[in-house]
Every structure is written in structure tokens, then in C-alpha cells.
Structure 1
Amino acid sequence: MRNGLGLKWVISGSFLLLIAVVLLIYSRLLPEYSVRGLLYTASAMMEEEAQYFARHYKKDPTTPPPHNYFYTSVIGKEALPENIRKMLDTPPSLSFGAVQVFGDLDSEDQDEGRAILAQPLGDGKTLYMYDLDHDQEEGGEVETPLSDAYLDRELHGVIFISLAVFIPALIIIALLVWWLVRPLGRLAQWSTTLKEPDAVSGERPNFSFKEFNMLADALAQSVQQVQAASLREGRLLRYTSHELRTPLAVLKANIELLTLQSGGVLPPPLQRIERSVLNMQRIAETLLWMSRELPEALPEEAIDLNGLVGELIEEHRYLIGKRDIELILDISSEPCRLPLTACRIVVGNFLRNALQYADEGSVEISFQYPQLCIVNRIRETKQAEPSSDFGYGLGLELMRQLCARLGWQIEVSVEQQHFSVTLDFEAASPFEESPAVVAGPSENT
């Protein structure tokens, strides 16, 4: 409901802002177009007076030029006052209709701005009409209290109309938003109860609008599908815990018996089976741990990474085959506290890929807490295409998820036919997704 109220204020505020912008534009355009209306009126009056004079002048050239309180006129440019003649030699600052404005009409000095109309007459002469300034006369400008009062009433009416539109519109918008957002807030509140299975299977409330009811049905259906998938996953984990680990334990026990029978040394085929069983057991345990919704932290213990890497090298030395590969080790012997099983899986995966896909040359392994770096020479710098093979895909995804759960970060770089993988044990926060990539497909992981 809190989110619904927030949405209500956002929508109502948006509509209020829209109305305010419209009123602001209206208030700015109103005086502008009012002035244009006055200019049009002045232009029409002067032009009509000039046309009227031109008709009478054609019949009687002695007809006197028009003159009234607002403007006067003369025939011929030489009859104009000197200041107006100088203005005609400059470009006009404004033109409206038949009238041209020279200078600034708003200036207190009337000599700075004049409105002038030029009307050609039939005999080749020109009638010039220009406005008059009465401010300098005795008594100043004539007051028009009745007209001013009328204008004030009209302006107050405009303000009243603006408020009469603004306030009811705001009330209507607030009611409309409340009417629309209230069922949305109920929908949001109801969605928080879908964590319980009884709420999903129970009767859905009516949210007044067909669209909200359709959204609620789709949401309930999605939650039901997620809960069903979660139940299937739980059953799969239980089956995996028993059906997969049991045969692995049987295989491991039988391999130990075969080791005792053979005097402690297994033939190469059985050694490969032993390694595969050990890897499968570690993967199964890690998958079960990662699949828990809230997995507990793996137990940490003091690890000599130098010895661990040495053991892993001996386990995977068979991958070198007949290639001439030199192992260059620079590993700190200082003990560090890490989860042993996860550390064996991740480091073993990287080492296996480095030995399996390395070109002839050297494989460099260095460790200085908290970073482990493995660099091997490769034949091509082109990155391997993603594969649908379970060996590659599962191994890559497993390394990503495992390192993300443990708070480790993996960085991969390819430079001058050298493939390097850096594992940082303290770079990321636990349970945060990490953009990890392994050096290549592994044998089992």
C-alpha cells in the first residue's frame, strides 16, 4: 500500500505539474497576444483613416490630412518633424500591418520610438501618419478611469477563470488517481502474501478492474509454477543425495579393496577410474551445497596451498602426455584459511584445463595470498565457442556459481598466445554473481 500511495503522489504531482505548465504558458501568452491585438487595432484604425483620406484627396486635393488625439499626419516627407525624418532613414524595429515602428515604443522618451504609416496618394505624393505624445503637454496624459476599471475587471475575470479551472482539475485528478491507485495498492499488498501456499490456492480478491484481476491471476499462476519447480528441485536434491552418492561410495570402497589387493599400486585404467570417482564425489557434494536456498558457510581450515597444488599436479600429470611442458611454480608456503573441498575443485579445474590445452612450453603457477595465477601457452588466441556438451557447460557454470557463492572472483585474459587465469579469494562479496570464465573445457567438471 505504501508503494501505491507513492505512485498516487507521483501521478497526481505529474498532472499538477502539467496543469501548472499549461497555466504558465497561458499566462505568458495572454499579455503577448493582448499586445498584438492592440497593435492590430491601432494598425487597422490608422490604415482605414489613411484609405479614407486617400479617396477624398483624389476628389479634392485641398482635403486636410487627418488629425486626432492619438496621431497626426502630413503630406510629403519634408513636412515631417526632423526627428521623424531621421527615423525613416533607419530600418524599422517592428512592423505590424501597415504600420512600422522605429525605435522603442516603451521608452520614456517619445523621441526614441514612433509608429509611422506611409500611404501613397494618387498624385505621387505620400501621406505620413505618426502617433502623438501628450505626456509633455500641460496636464500630462489624459486619464481614462472608466476604461481602466473595465480592463481591471476583465483581468480579474481571467484570474478567476484560471483558478476555477486549476483547483477543480486538481481535485478531479486526485480523486481519479486515488480511484485507480487504490486497487493497485491492494494488489501489491496481496502479492506479498503469496509466499504462503494457502494464499496462492485460496480465493483471489476482486481488484475492481479487469486488467488488475488478469495481472493477479498471472502472478498467482507464476508463483504456483515457481513453487512446483521448487518442490521438484527439492525432490531431485533428495534423490541425488542418496542415489548418486551411494554408488560413488560403493565405487570408492571397491577401488580401495582393489588397491589393497594389488599391493598399493593400481594399474592405469583403475587409476583413471579412481580419479573420476573422486572428482564426481566432490562435484556432487558441491552441487548439493550450492543448491540449498540458504547454504551454510563451508568450513575453513588452514591450507598449505603449495602442498595442495603439488598434489593436484601429481593427480593431473597424466594430462601432459608426451608434450614438452615445463611447470614453473612460485607459490607462497604461508598457510591460509580456505574451504578445502571448494579450493581443490576450483584450483584443480584451472590446473586441469591449463595442462590439457597448453601448447608446448611452460605453465606458470604463482600464488601470493589472496591471488592465484595460472598462465599457459596456447596455440590460438581465439576464445572457444560455447558448447552444449555437459562436460564443458557444467564445469563452466559450476565454477561461476561456486566462486560467486564463496566470494571469489575469476579473471581471464588472453594476450600474445598466453592464457592466464587469476583467482582472487577476497575480491567479491559472497553470494554475488561473478563474471567468471574458466580456461577451457575440463575432463569432468
Structure 2
Amino acid sequence: MRNGLSLKWVISGSFLFLIAVVLVIYSRLLPEFTVRGLFYTASAMMEEEAQYFVRHYKQDPTTPTPHNYFYTSVIGKEALPQNIRQMLDVPPSLSFGAVHIFGDLYSDDDDAPVQIILEQPLGDGKTLYMYDIDHDQEVGGEVEPPLSDAYFDQVIQSVTFISLAVFVPALIIIALLVWWLVRPLGRLVQWSGTLKNPEALASERPGFSFKEFNMLADALAKSVEQVQAASQREGRLLRYTSHELRTPLAVLKANIELLALQSGGVLPSSLQRIERSVLNMQLIAETLLWMSRERPEPLPEEDIDLSELVGELIEKHRYLIGNRDIELSIDIHNEPCRLPPTACRIVIGNFLRNALQYAEEGKVEISFKYPRLLITNHIQEAKPQEESSDFGYGLGLQLMHQLCAKLGWHIEVIREQQRFTVVLDVTSLRAVESAR
């Protein structure tokens, strides 16, 4: 089961969500600004009428106040009806210049009261109050709505229909466009997952409709082909080298055994060194051959006494100490561990040989408590310009990292100023994952 979100669905969902948000915002703002526009028109008409009255009032104070079917006016707050005066005591819902609007402007209830009141100073300390008249409350029954209201409702419905007619097709077009663009990308991802198969790599690449996707597919196929070719070359080199080394090593080992028989079982020191080198080379060749396999079989495991194994390796590599004053501090639990003996001998022997080869006079500490082995030795202080982290001898640390990665072991190298520590964790990562 694949984890994570598909890019196709992320892009499609993002576009659809964006269009939906725009549509919701537009639908919410349309009625609000429509109502604001209507009230602004009414307020502009009232202000013009009030200013016209002020000009005539300054010439003749007896000029009658404006009055028509839609609104009426009085001079002085005391002349206002009781309900109008009470509205002036609370903040208005909306204001346009001298015009104030009271009530719930966006209520769906047609009976909700909305009042428009204008306050216009007359210049002599008096104020003209103009307010709209609600003819629905007049005695004589309900008044038939004018034809203009029906026209306005029709216009609002037309605007709503036009908005839907624009956004719904746009939504569909964008969804189709995203699908058209992302579908080849999904096919490219699906095809790239088959490139690990050499037959799929050698077959003809499918077309992806877009030039950029085709160029990306060509580059991807070329890169995978180069990586596979390099891997095959490396595997062949390891296999050929290992096979070619095994024959002369077998000849050397047989001749050394023959010399040992001729000398009564005791070899001179020079031949002992050759014997040790042959044994190391034989182990290295077997390891390289095992690592070169694409799917190496698990190495056979046995119950190993690591204390005995380390003691044997120390005796084989003690000649590396020479005349240096080196003290070996060994703290190894003698409980048996189930591990592959050949791999343990190669890895631990390599680390121990490095420690004895490059150790300064002092103490070499070797400790093991399952599953961690620590080997620490004193070294000369490394120069700042030295970039190599390989204090290795023979296979070296880099190849040890590869070998331990194959085995599922973990290596940690800690370099301090004059101390070099290697920590080997022999807990198999595969076993841990299987236990989970």
C-alpha cells in the first residue's frame, strides 16, 4: 500500500477548493453590495432633496419641508414620531454622509423594520430630519408591490444565474485541464517504477503527450541504464577478481602446509607471515564474492565465544605491535552469541588489525557486551588537511561499512584528538524489522 497523497489529487483538489472558495465569497458579497448599492441610491436622492430645501430655506424660512410618497421630513427632533426618536439613540447599522440606516439590512424576514433617517443642519441652529415612510403599515390592508420590485427580483435572479453559468463551467474546465496535465505525470511515475526490470528498460518508451515529460522519461531511462551498467561492471569485477584470487591462494596454502610438514610442524617467522597473509586474502576473496551477489544468501550462524575469537585474533596480529609499549585491555563477556563466524572474523580482525597497526604507545581497549563491541586505540593527532576517514588496512573502513550493511550490522566511528574508537553493533537490522 502506497503512503502519501497523489500529486494528481493534490493539484486537482487545490484548484477545486480555490474555485469553491471564490464562488462562496462571490455569493456572499453579491447580496451585501447589492443592498449597499440600493441604500446608497436612496441616500443620494434624500441628500439632494435636503440640500435643495436648505437653499430655499435660507431665502424663506417658511418654505414647507419635503414630503412625497417615499419619505417625509420635519424640523427639530421633537417633531419626529416616538419610534423614530428612539432609533436615533442607538448606533446606525450603516451610514452614507448625513444619512443613517437602522435595522437588520440582510435579514431574510420581509417584516424586519429598516429605517432611513437623514440629519441635515439648516444653519440657524435647527436640524432637518428626513425619514422614509412605510406604507405597508398604513390602514387599509396590504399594498400591492410595485412592478419595479418584481423587476429587481428578476435582475437578482439573473445575476445569480450568470454567476453560476460562469463558475460551474470554469470549474469543469479547470478540473479537465488538471486531469489532462496530471494524467501523463501519473503514467510517467508508473512507468518509472518498472525500470528496475531490464526488459522494461530495453522496451520502447511510451509516449506522454508532452515534450517535457518525454524528455524527462528519456533522461530517467538513460540514468537508470547507466546505473545498472555500472552495477553490473562492479559485480563482474568482484566476481572475476574473487575467482581469479582463489586459485593462487589455494596453491599458496597447499604449499605452506607442505612446508610445515617438511619442517616438523613449525614454520619460520617469514613463512608464518605468508601463512597469515594467505589466510586473510582467502577470507577477503570469499567476502568479496559473497558481497558481489545481487541477493546474497544469509551466512550460516553458529554459537561463537567472542572472547575466544578475539583472543585468537590478538595472537595472530600480535606481531603488529613490534617493539612498541602497548597494553591490551580486554573486557569481553564470555556468553555465547549466535553470529556468522566468517563475517565476525573478517570484520573484527580488520578493526583489531587497524588498532594495532596505527596505535601509539599506550593502551588499546577492547570491550564487548552484547550487542556492542568497542575497540579504542591512541593515534597521532591528525592534521587538519587530512580529509580521509579511512585509517584502514586491507579492506579498510569503507569496505567494512559495506559488508556490515549487507549483514544488517551498524558501525560508528568516533575520532577524537588522539583517540580512535570503532563501535560495532551486531544486532541484525533485518531481525529487528522482522520482530516488529
Q: How does the TM-score come out when normalised to structure 1?
A: 0.76
**Aligned-pair CA distance for 1:401:** 1.9
Count residues with an aligned counterpart.
427
**Aligned-pair CA distance for 1:23:** 1.0
More deviation in 64-73 or 331-340?
64-73
Q: Deviations along 1:132-155, whole A, 9 cap, x unmatched?
A: 566765468755264443344334
**Aligned-pair CA distance for 1:183:** 4.5
Matched, 1:343 2:348: no
**Counterpart in 1 of 2:18?**
18
Counterpart residue type for residue 19 of structure 2: I
Counterpart residue type for residue 42 of structure 2: A
Measured in 1, the distance between the counterparts of 2:393 and 2:146 equals 94
Contact 2:350 2:394 in 1 (8 A): no
* Alignment CA distance shift 1:384-1:325 (3 Å): farther
Question: CA-atom RMSD, angstroms?
Answer: 4.3
Contact 1:405 1:430 in 2 (8 A): no
**Counterpart in 1 of 2:48?**
48
Counterpart residue type for residue 348 of structure 1: G
Q: Deviations along 1:272-310, whole A, 9 cap, x unmatched?
A: 444444333322322221222111111112222111010
* Alignment CA distance shift 1:99-1:265 (3 Å): farther
Measured in 1, the distance between the counterparts of 2:232 and 2:119 equals 94
More deviation in 377-386 or 153-162?
377-386
**Aligned-pair CA distance for 1:421:** 4.1
Q: Deviations along 1:213-245, whole A, 9 cap, x unmatched?
A: 323332332343234324423431332123333
Q: Deviations along 1:178-229, whole A, 9 cap, x unmatched?
A: 5445555555565566556565455444443322332333233234323432
* Alignment CA distance shift 1:356-1:269 (3 Å): same
* Alignment CA distance shift 1:286-1:132 (3 Å): farther
**Counterpart in 2 of 1:306?**
307
More deviation in 43-52 or 406-415?
406-415
* Alignment CA distance shift 1:267-1:70 (3 Å): farther
**Counterpart in 1 of 2:96?**
96
**Counterpart in 1 of 2:158?**
157
Measured in 1, the distance between the counterparts of 2:327 and 2:83 equals 103
Residue 429 of structure 1 aligns to a residue whose secondary structure is helix
Contact 2:117 2:131 in 1 (8 A): yes
**Counterpart in 2 of 1:438?**
none
Pick 1 or 2: higher relative contact order, CA cutoff 8 A, min separation 6.
Answer: 1
**Counterpart in 2 of 1:59?**
59
Matched, 1:401 2:402: yes
Q: Deviations along 1:102-128, whole A, 9 cap, x unmatched?
A: 6866799x9998644333335454433
Q: Which aligned pairs between 1:341-420 and structure 2 lie closer than 5 A?
A: 341-356=342-357, 362-376=363-377, 386-387=387-388, 391=392, 395-412=396-413, 420=421
* Alignment CA distance shift 1:273-1:377 (3 Å): same
Counterpart residue type for residue 341 of structure 1: T
Contact 2:303 2:338 in 1 (8 A): yes
Measured in 2, the distance between the counterparts of 1:219 and 1:412 equals 36
Counterpart residue type for residue 48 of structure 2: E
Contact 2:87 2:102 in 1 (8 A): yes
Aligned-residue identity in percent: 79
Q: Deviations along 1:224-270, whole A, 9 cap, x unmatched?
A: 32343244234313321233333444444454455556665555555
Counterpart residue type for residue 62 of structure 1: T
**Counterpart in 2 of 1:241?**
242
* Alignment CA distance shift 1:290-1:80 (3 Å): same
**Aligned-pair CA distance for 1:24:** 1.1
Residue 49 of structure 1 aligns to a residue whose secondary structure is helix
Where do 5+ consecutive residues of structure 2 fail to align? none
Counterpart residue type for residue 429 of structure 2: A
More deviation in 333-342 or 365-374?
365-374
Q: Deviations along 1:301-346, whole A, 9 cap, x unmatched?
A: 2222111010112123344445544433332333222111111122
More deviation in 140-149 or 375-384?
375-384
**Counterpart in 2 of 1:439?**
none
Contact 1:404 1:431 in 2 (8 A): no
More deviation in 334-343 or 243-252?
243-252
* Alignment CA distance shift 1:345-1:67 (3 Å): farther
Measured in 2, the distance between the counterparts of 1:139 and 1:215 equals 81
Residue 427 of structure 2 aligns to a residue whose secondary structure is coil
Counterpart residue type for residue 129 of structure 2: Y
Q: Which aligned pairs between 1:270-285 and structure 2 lie closer than 5 A?
A: 270-285=271-286
* Alignment CA distance shift 1:279-1:129 (3 Å): farther
**Counterpart in 1 of 2:170?**
169
**Counterpart in 1 of 2:218?**
217
Q: Deviations along 1:48-85, whole A, 9 cap, x unmatched?
A: 12122122223322112223455443334565567766
**Aligned-pair CA distance for 1:27:** 0.9
**Counterpart in 2 of 1:29?**
29
* Alignment CA distance shift 1:385-1:101 (3 Å): farther
**Aligned-pair CA distance for 1:32:** 2.1
Contact 2:73 2:131 in 1 (8 A): yes
Counterpart residue type for residue 37 of structure 1: G
**Counterpart in 2 of 1:74?**
74
